[in-house]
Structure 1
Amino acid sequence: MPRPKTRIQQKNSETILEAALDVFSSQGFRGATLDQIAEVAGLSKPNLLYYFPSKEAIHQALLAQLLDTWLDPLRAMNPQGEPVAEIMAYVRRKLDLSRDYPRESRLFANEILQGAPRMQAAIEGELKDLVDDKAAILQTWMDEGKIARMQPVHLIFSIWALTQHYADFDMQVRAVLGAGHDPFAEAGDFLNTLYTRLLRP
């Protein structure tokens, strides 16, 4: 059984992961190097390698943390709740996630664009199982006439696309909107209008 980390070891591990998140989210896995991560972390490369044996190990640790963050908003959808309110709360949580965790969103997007070589098992397992479960809830609400009938998995896909866009394409969004705009406040208003009309039976 491994010994628990000391406070300094825990702090250094967290510093490395925070630095790696910056580097991976901006450079992608292939473009990132251990030297870059060590420089951002303010540690020597040998010191970094004491905590993580490779770039792959750092990346894997970040992805493991990310999956729970990514799935929690969908997990919170309550089958006993009022359908439109539950779906709109999910949209809001996903938009808040893009606002508060843009680096994590780009890290996830980069991994998917590369074919998800380090996340394929989780995507085909835990993520798919959760989507299937929530799609069944959406289908039940449709069958009961509580929301408009549509393909439930594609409804979930559309929420991903329309919320994660604001993190993954932040520079483009801000450039097009120009100064004086709050992209996330405006997106929240727009998505509320869009989905409440779309979901109306």
Structure 2
Amino acid sequence: MSSIRERNKELILRAASEEFADKGFAATKTSDIAIKAGLPKPNVYYYFKSKDNLYREVLESIIEPILRASTPFNPDGEPNEVLSSYIRSKIRISRDLPFASKVFASEIMHGAPHLSADQVEQLNAQARHNIECIQTWVERGQIAPIDPHHLLFSIWAATQTYADFDWQISVVTGKARLEDADYEAAAQTIIRMVLKGCAPD
């Protein structure tokens, strides 16, 4: 019974991610989510109670991986290894959760109205921690004297573009869908640029 419950919740969550990414929160209907999930509309309410709760679940599904991606960051970590691991994790998020990533990007662009104060603080605390680690590496001479904020922003932009701007990438590459090899090439390219740019002077 629990496996059926989890399967149905996953179907609904995936369908909701696609609908919210495509139409936004206000224009999305629970009936369209149910149709895309292949389940009766009452199931959506049974598992998630409301569209608001479902939207928050979609956000939660992307926030957790974003927070986990920063696990390697610590002042005593080897910068090249930490940054490489972080970039690969961010690329995996864009590959595995593209629709949730778009929903998250839209939420941020609109001032994060649906994020809880706790979620905002978690994300900000994570960013502050990563920035402090990078600054420590700079002060120790382990990496070039770059601005930690802008290094982080650049990594976010470079990795999240593979989810948030997938249409443009598809048009330019001529591929309807990127393959694992494409994501690996993306990760290697971004890692090379970041590590070369961060190399001590």
Residue of 60, 65, 70 corresponding to 1:74 = 70
Q: Which amino acid aligns with 2:55?
A: H
Give the aligned partner of residue 32 of structure 2.
Answer: 36
**Residue number in structure 2 paired with 1:117:** 113
Report the Cα distance in structure 1 between the residues aligned to 2:50 and 2:113, rounded to whole angstroms.
16
Cα distance in 2 between the residues matched to 1:10 and 1:167: 25
CA contact (8 A) 1:174 1:183 kept: no
Asked if residue 188 in structure 1 is aligned to residue 187 in structure 2, the reply is: yes
Looking at structure 2, the residues matched to 10 and 85 of structure 1 have their Cα atoms a distance apart, in angstroms, of: 36
Question: What does 1:1-201 correspond to in 2, within 5 Å?
Answer: 6-119=2-115, 121-122=117-118, 124-179=120-175, 183-201=182-200
Q: In the TM superposition, what whole-angstrom CA distance separates every residue of 1:53-94 from its partner, at most 9, and x where no partner exists?
A: 221111112222321111111123243221122112211221
For structure 1, the residue ranges without an aligned partner over 5 or more in a row are none
| Alpha carbons of structure 1 residues 136 and 52: separation in structure 2 relative to 1, 3 Å | same
Check conservation: 2:75, 2:136, Cα contact below 8 A.
no
Give the whole-Å Cα distance in 1 for the aligned partners of 2:36 and 2:175: 30
TM-score relative to the length of structure 1: 0.87
Task: State whether residues 173 and 183 of structure 1, in contact with CA within 8 Å, keep that contact through their aligned partners in structure 2.
Answer: no
Partner secondary structure for residue 75 of structure 1: coil
- Check conservation: 1:22, 1:103, Cα contact below 8 A: yes
RMSD, aligned α-carbons: 2.2
Counting matched residue pairs gives: 197
Structure 1 residue 11 displacement after superposition? 3.3
Q: Confirm or deny: 8 A CA contact 2:73 2:133 kept in the other structure.
A: no
- CA drift of 1:34 comes to 0.6
The 1-side partners of 2:112 and 2:95 are apart by 23
Cα deviation for residue 198 of structure 1 reads 0.9
TM-score (normalised: structure 2): 0.87
Deviation, 1:98, is 1.2
Q: State the identity as a percent.
A: 37
- Per-residue deviation at 1:186? 3.4
Gaps of 5+ in 2: none
